[in-house]
Chain A
Amino acid sequence: NAGVTQTPKFQVLKTGQSMTLQCAQDMNHEYMSWYRQDPGMGLRLIHYSVGAGITDQGEVPNGYNVSRSTTEDFPLRLLSAAPSQTSVYFCASSYSTDPNTEAFFGQGTRLTVV
């Protein structure tokens, strides 16, 4: 049972480059989300999706784009990387937005923008 699969695990980008972080889950979860983790800040929500074809912005959406064409996949695109986007990124999924549902996390992507 794969759960939430996130790739790549590590990435170095030059300022201005674009890239896509991949996220896939095999649990048929409706709710998927992307967080970034910065030292001393906990995790902050970037974008989320409540189902295929439906996405919305979270707390820190600027510089990121998402789409949800299938239930399984929820890629995160960095449009033009900036050093401020150096962070650890986590994809998470849960069965629903119900407060009693656990979120399952991917392994994380450590991104460095130089």
Chain B
Amino acid sequence: AQKITQTQPGMFVQEKEAVTLDCTYDTSDQSYGLFWYKQPSSGEMIFLIYQGSYDEQNATEGRYSLNFQKARKSANLVISASQLGDSAMYFCAMREGGSKRGSTLGRLYFGRGTQLTVWP
């Protein structure tokens, strides 16, 4: 089973509108972290926002917020007031806690990404 699922290969939004990028995750750990990264066409990975599994409040960073629904195991990224510069690939990722061995230690699990296009 996939640890991170992003079901939207592509999304389109008009400038100044809000958009939600979906992410669901699968873990049996109580302690884990959820991350969103942005990858523009230039290729670098830019950290956007983080949510810890024990955090009761949804994380916010400027125009980015993370809609964390623990019971549903979802961690959707909300971008408010979209800008043309928001056009990029967006990746949801998870790092698990607990006692890990082997290839899972410290590993970030990534979804397959959502390509967001903002049009004027």
Query: Interface residues, chain A, CB within 8 Å of chain B?
Result: 31, 33, 35, 40-45, 48, 50, 56-59, 88, 90, 92, 94, 96-105, 107-108, 110
Min C-beta distance of A17 to chain B, whole Å: 23
In the complex the two chains form, is B47's CB within 8 Å of A102's CB?
yes
User: Which residues between 87 and 112 of chain B lie within 8 Å of chain A, taking CB atoms?
Assistant: 91, 93, 95-97, 100, 102-103, 105-108, 110-112
Interface string of B64-96 (1 = CB under 8 A from A): 000000000000000000000000000101011
- Indicate the size class of the contact surface on chain B: 20 to 34
Assuming the contacts A56-B102, A56-B103, asked whether A103 and B108 have C-beta atoms less than 8 A apart, the reply is: yes
In the complex the two chains form, is B44's CB within 8 Å of A42's CB?
no
Among B93, B97, B103, B106: residue with most chain A CB under 10 A: B106
In the complex the two chains form, is B107's CB within 8 Å of A33's CB?
yes
Interface of A is mostly: strand
Min C-beta distance of B65 to chain A, whole Å: 17
In the complex the two chains form, is B106's CB within 8 Å of A90's CB?
no
A-B contact pairs, 26 of them (CB 8 A): A31-B106, A33-B106, A35-B110, A42-B91, A42-B112, A45-B107, A45-B108, A50-B105, A57-B102, A59-B107, A92-B45, A97-B100, A97-B105, A99-B29, A99-B32, A99-B33, A100-B33, A100-B50, A101-B33, A103-B47, A103-B93, A104-B47, A105-B44, A105-B45, A108-B45, A110-B43
Measured CA separation A108–B44 after assembly (Å): 6
